[in-house]
Amino acid sequence: MQISVRDQETTHNIQIEQPAGLLQILRESNLAVPAPCGGKGTCLKCTVTIEGIGSVLACQTILDEALWQRAGVPLDQPLVVRLPRYSRPQIATSGMLPELILSPLVARQSVIVDEPSLKDQRADDERFFDASGLSIPYRLLSQLPDVFRRSKYHPTAYVRIDTREVLRFVTDQTAEPLGLAVDIGTTTLAGYLCDLKTGRLLASDAMLNPQRTYGADVISRIEQAMAGHQTELQRVLAQAIGELTHRLLRQIDRIAAPDDLLNRVAHVVLTGNTVMMHLLTQLPPDAIARTPFIPVSVAAQTRTAAELGLPLEPDTICQLMPSIAAYVGADITAGLIATGLSSQGHQQRQIALLIDIGTNGEMVLSTPNGRIACSTAAGPAFEAANITC
C-alpha cells in the first residue's frame, strides 16, 4: 500500500509495509503535522484530509486495508492525504551583542615541515611534531603521507588550542574555522555561524523544532520518549540541526555546496532547556516530569558530532552548556553569560532580572546576595492542550 501526501508545494509518496498510525508515518517521513496534545486527539490540530473520506485526525487514523476500502481506493492505488496550509511563524534571531573576550577552542595553523631524505628518516608524525609541537590523533595518522605530498610539506590544520592536538587537516590554507551556536528551544531552533578568528557573526537563521509533532510542551515530549519514541525524537532533532547548519552555510557562500563547507565547521556550542538537552543526548528524561523533578545530569559535556549523531564532520567538537535545574536550562546559563549577569562584578553592583519568555518561561533575579531562578509553562499557558480542570 502507498499514500500520496500532498501539501501546498510538494507531493510525497510513502510506501506502507504494514498497518500503522497516520501521524506516526508522517512523523517518520519528516512531514510536520502539529500535534500539541501529543497525539491524544484533544487539540484537533493534526486534522488532515483523505480523498474519498474527508477530514480525519491523523493521530486516530490507522493506515490499513479497511481505510482503503472506506475511501473507495483499490489497494494497488495510492491513498491521497492532503495537508492543510500551515502558517509560517516569524522567529526572531537578531539582538544586541555584548562585548566579549574572544577565546576560541579551535584555530587554523599552517606548518612548514622538513622534507625527508636519506639523512633525515624521521617518521611522518615525528617530523610533524618537531615542526609544530602538535600531536596527531591516531584516526588522522593514515592521512599524513597524502597531506604532506599534496601540500608540498606545508600542511594546514584546524587545531584544538587547549590540547594542542590536530582536529583535522584542511586543503584551503586561508579558510578560518567556523563556530556554530544552536539554541534548542521546545518550539524553535536558532542557529548562529561565527568566524572563530575574528568573532564576527556571519549568518543567523531559525526553524521550527520538528519534535513539536510529538507534543507542544516538554511534558508531552517526555511522555513520548517514555512511550518508546526517544530515538525518533533524537533523530529528528539531529537532522534539524544539520538542516539549519546547511541553511547558514548557504548564507555565507551561495556558490559552494553546503556539504563542501561543512569541513570548516569545527566547533559547535549547544544550549537549550534541560529536557531538550536530555533528548539530544538520549538521557532518560522521565524523572524530570514527576516530583521531586530530578534530571540525570545538568553538567556541561564535550562530545563529538559522531557521538551525538549530528550530520556534521564526525570529529566536530560539540560542547553542551550546563543547565541549572530540571526546569532552568542551559539556555538560561547562556542568557546569564550573554547579559553579563554571570559575572561576580555585576552581582555586587546592582539588582537585575533576566526574563526568558518561551514555551518554557524562566526568570533569574540577580542581587548582591546571589541569584534566584524559577520557571513556569509560558507558551502552552494560552493553549491548555494537555490541561484538565
Looking at the predicted structure, is the pLDDT value of residue 150 above 70? yes
Average the pLDDT over each of 9-23, 90-104, 134-148 and give the range with the smallest value.
90-104
CB 379 within 8 Å of CB 371: no
Q: What contacts 24+ positions apart, CB below 8 Å, involve 340-344?
A: 340/98, 341/366, 341/371
Q: Work out the pLDDT band at 92, boundaries 50, 70, 90.
A: low
pTM score, whole prediction: 0.80
Strand 178-184 vs strand 265-272: parallel, antiparallel, or unpaired? parallel
- Of 63, 161, 169, 66, whose CA–CA distance to 113 is shortest? 169
CB 23 within 8 Å of CB 63: no
- Give a yes or no: residue 68 inside a domain: yes
Q: Work out the pLDDT band at 297, boundaries 50, 70, 90.
A: very high
Expressed as residue numbers, the domain containing 363 is: 340-382
Q: Domain check: are 186 and 324 in the same one?
A: yes
Residues in the chain: 389
| DSSP at 380 | G
**Which residue, of 170, 196, 219, is where some domain finishes?**
170
Looking at the predicted structure, is the pLDDT value of residue 91 above 70? no
- Give a yes or no: residue 101 inside a domain: no
pLDDT at 383: 60
pLDDT at 160: 95
Q: Domain check: are 184 and 238 in the same one?
A: yes
Average the pLDDT over each of 23-32, 162-171, 178-187, 199-208 and give the range with the smallest value.
23-32
Question: How far apart, in whole angstroms, are the C-alpha atoms of residue 362 and residue 367?
Answer: 16
Sequence-separated (6 or more) residues with CB below 8 Å from residue 313: 168, 262, 263, 265, 266, 305
* CATH number, position 154: 3.10.20.880
Which tops the pLDDT comparison, 96 or 309? Answer: 309
pLDDT at 90: 58
Grid coordinates in use for 307? 557521538
